[in-house]
Amino acid sequence: MTYTPYLVPVSVKGIVFEDNAVWLRKNERNEWELPGGKIDPSEQPTDTVIREMREELGYEVVVKDLVSAHMYTIKKSIDESYGVLVLMYTCDVTSRSGVFELDGEAGRAEFQAFRLTEIEKLNMPAFFKEAIAQASAMRATNDQ
C-alpha cells in the first residue's frame, strides 16, 4: 500500500487590537474573519503574518504569540474543501505604513474594527471568536 500524504493549505491570521477593538475583514462568503492569508513557499508563519498585515491593513506589526490553530473546512472552496490549517497570532502595531487593501487576491474586502462586546453577534466562525477572546485575555494578563 502506498502512503498518500494529506495535504492542506495553511492560512496565517493576525489578531490586531487597536483602541480596545480588534480589526476584522469581511470575506467573499459575507463572514467576518481575522486579516491574513496563505503562507508563500519557504515562508515562516510569523513572516506571513507580518507580510499580510502590511498588505491588508497597511500596518507594520511585531508578532507576539501563537493563540490558536484550527482545521477549518470550507465546502465550496477551490483549495480548502478538505480543510485549511488556520494559525492565529497576536500582533502589536509598530506603525501604519499604508492604507487598507480593498481589492486583494481574494476579491473585494471590507475592514472594520469591532469592540469585544460586538464580536459575538457577528457572522463569523466560532473558532475566530474563541481566538479573539483568548487573545484578549492574554492581553489583559500581560498588561497587569
Q: What are the chain's domains?
A: 10-143 (3.90.79.10)
Pairwise CA distance, residues 131 & 89, whole Å: 9
User: For strand 84-96 and strand 10-18, is the pairing parallel, antiparallel, or unpaired?
Assistant: parallel
**Helices within the chain (DSSP H only):** 45-56, 116-119, 126-143
Q: Which residue has 459575538 as its cell numbers?
A: 120
Query: According to the model, what pLDDT value does residue 80 have?
Result: 59
| Of residues 19, 38, 143, 33, the one with CA closest to residue 93 | 19
What local confidence, expressed as pLDDT, does residue 27 receive?
A: 85
One pLDDT digit (tens) per residue for the chain, 144 residues:
788 777 788 999 999 998 889 999 998 888 999 999 999 999 999 999 999 999 999 999 999 999 999 998 876 655 555 778 999 999 999 998 877 666 655 556 788 999 999 999 999 999 999 999 999 998 877 665
Between CA 46 and CA 17 the distance in angstroms is 17
Return the beta strands (E) in the chain as ranges: 10-18, 21-26, 32-33, 36-38, 59-72, 84-96, 103-104, 107-108, 110-115
